[in-house]
Amino acid sequence: MTTFDLDTIRAQFPALALRHDDLPRTYLDNPAGTQVPTHVLDAMRTAMVEFNANMHGQFRTTLLATELEHEAHCAMADFYNAPSADEITFGPNMTTLTFQMTRVLGPLFQEGDEIITTHMEHDGNNTPWRRMAADRGLVVKTLPWSRDTYEFDLAELEALITPRTRFASLNYASNILGTINPIKQMVAMLKAAGAMTYVDAVQFAPHGAIDVQDLGCDFLVSSSYKFYGPHQGVLFGRREITEPLDAYKLRVVPNSIPDKFETGTQSLEGQAGVLGAIDYLRWLGSTMGAAHVAAATAAGMKQRTAEIHGAMNAMVEYEQTLSDRLITGLQSINGVIVHGVTDRTALDRRVPTVSISHPSMDPADAATFLDQYGVYVWNGHSYGLPVIEFLGLQDKGGVLRIGPTHYNTLAEIDRVVDLVGQYLAQR
């Protein structure tokens, strides 16, 4: 078990030292966006002060900006363990990148072709593909999950796949349920049928190591503001698919990847911040996940990827203690329903995001109550609309979502559990 030096970790995040009036701030809104370390703040400030210029010119500051842009692509290729930096596309967020991909992928399909999505999707990996299907006359099939296990039955996926299956949008980890899905097996099943796969890893990326080569997926997308960086979306797209695509671009833009997908001027400060987030993870891996880094290096990973994976694997170990404490505490409150995997022996099949409901709880009112005490959580559907609809909670205010990450403490978990109990005792 990795021993985290939480004081040292928390000292990297200036926001964690801020106060909520005379109370400490307890950030449990992390599934919607994490706080950022000084690595990110320093990197963004350096870019904006020392070489704040557009890219691809012939003078010093533009050359430095262009170099940073290239390094950001290389760093995210290592984050995903992608074969090449050319297969990395930056954009403002996951949703915008996904809508862009629907536009360029749509012409590959014929009327009557079938696509598969799931009842566990964030709407950013659901509505764009349904819009594409409506435009192209495609058939949409939806994979359900079990209300008993909060997981997929892969036999049901197999039953949905036919000779007309051409595409699937898949959720790596649910931003409501916390479930980590067996993406590698799902991709293999779909690939055997000749289908393309697009993986939403936004919720998984802060809580686990990603390896697109091992997964075998065609596309994978995440957002850096969920893994301690700024607001940027980052897409991996397999070269064999993306190179021939006809992109919607300006005439002056090269017809090469990733340039043809990166519309307009890219965010210099955003990509600098992504590099800062990667540097933070490398620091964490080398200082507190050395055994994991050594294992990844021994397996043949390049140094930066090994350090990132070392950080993530060390974080997973610690975060499972947070999940256990949070789920145990919430289940001890009479009437609270935890929507997700609760088996203590199966915490490796979930991220620490925990959503609850209660017959007498108004999630918005509960979140407002917790805010009085400096505890920040989300309420409602959190864009996981297919999940909330499948749970039948869309007319009941959705859920109260509590989302710890590796910089949270067990004391903070105990605090939120106690406050939820206090709130419900008043109802």
Decide: 15 and 25 in contact? Cβ < 8 Å.
Answer: yes
Does a structural domain hold residue 98? yes
Does a structural domain hold residue 295? no
Whether residue 157 sits in one domain with residue 91: yes
Whether residue 124 sits in one domain with residue 88: yes
Whether residue 160 sits in one domain with residue 83: yes
Whether residue 399 sits in one domain with residue 254: no
Whether residue 268 sits in one domain with residue 216: yes
When pLDDT is cut at 50, 70 and 90, the band that residue 4 belongs to is confident
Does a structural domain hold residue 254? yes
Whether residue 231 sits in one domain with residue 318: no
Does a structural domain hold residue 291? no
Read off the amino acid at residue 385: L
The number of C-alpha atoms within 13 Å of 30 and in the hemisphere containing its C-beta is 30
In the listed set 276, 298, 323, which residue is the last one of a domain according to the structure? 276
Whether residue 272 sits in one domain with residue 418: no
- Taking 90 as the threshold, does the pLDDT of residue 307 lie above it? yes
- Taking 60 as the threshold, does the pLDDT of residue 310 lie above it? yes
- What is the predicted pLDDT for the residue at 2? 60
What CATH number has the domain bearing residue 132? 3.40.640.10
Whether residue 329 sits in one domain with residue 191: no
Query: The domain containing residue 178 runs over which residues?
Result: 42-276
Q: Is pTM, for the whole model, over 0.75? A: yes
Which tens digit of pLDDT belongs to each residue from 78-109? Answer: 999 999 999 999 999 999 999 999 999 999 99
- What is the predicted pLDDT for the residue at 1? 53
What CATH number has the domain bearing residue 340? 3.90.1150.10
Which tens digit of pLDDT belongs to each residue from 333-361? Answer: 999 999 999 999 999 999 999 999 999 99
Does a structural domain hold residue 308? no
What total of structural domains would you count in the chain? Answer: 2
In the listed set 220, 246, 276, which residue is the last one of a domain according to the structure? 276
Whether residue 65 sits in one domain with residue 18: no
**How many Cβ atoms are within 10 Å of 159's Cβ, its own excluded?**
11
Does a structural domain hold residue 238? yes
SS (H, E, C) the chain: CCCCCHHHHHCCCHHHHCEECCEECEECEHHHCCCCCHHHHHHHHHHHHHCCCCCCCCCHHHHHHHHHHHHHHHHHHHHHCCCCHHHEEEECCHHHHHHHHHHHHHHHCCCCCEEEEECCCCHHHCHHHHHHHHHHCCEEEEECCCCCCCCCCHHHHHHHCCCCEEEEEEECECCCCCEECCHHHHHHHHHHCCCEEEEECCCCHHHCCCCHHHHCCCEEEEEHHHCCCCCCEEEEECHHHHCCCCCCCCCCCCCCCCHHHCCCCCCHHHHHHHHHHHHHHHHHHHHHCHHHHHHHHHCCCCHHHHHHHHHHHHHHHHHHHHHHHHHHHHHCCCCCEECCCCCHHHHHHECCCEEEECCCCCHHHHHHHHHCCCEECEEECCCCHHHHHHHCCCCCCEEEEEECCCCCCHHHHHHHHHHHHHHHHCC
Whether residue 145 sits in one domain with residue 60: yes
Whether residue 235 sits in one domain with residue 115: yes
How much is the average pLDDT of 4-23?
97
When pLDDT is cut at 50, 70 and 90, the band that residue 5 belongs to is very high
In the listed set 256, 276, 296, which residue is the last one of a domain according to the structure? 276
When the pLDDT of each residue in the chain is averaged and rounded to a whole number, the result is 97
Does a structural domain hold residue 285? no
Whether residue 248 sits in one domain with residue 126: yes
Which tens digit of pLDDT belongs to each residue from 127-183? Answer: 999 999 999 999 999 999 999 999 999 999 999 999 999 999 999 999 999 999 999
Does a structural domain hold residue 1? no
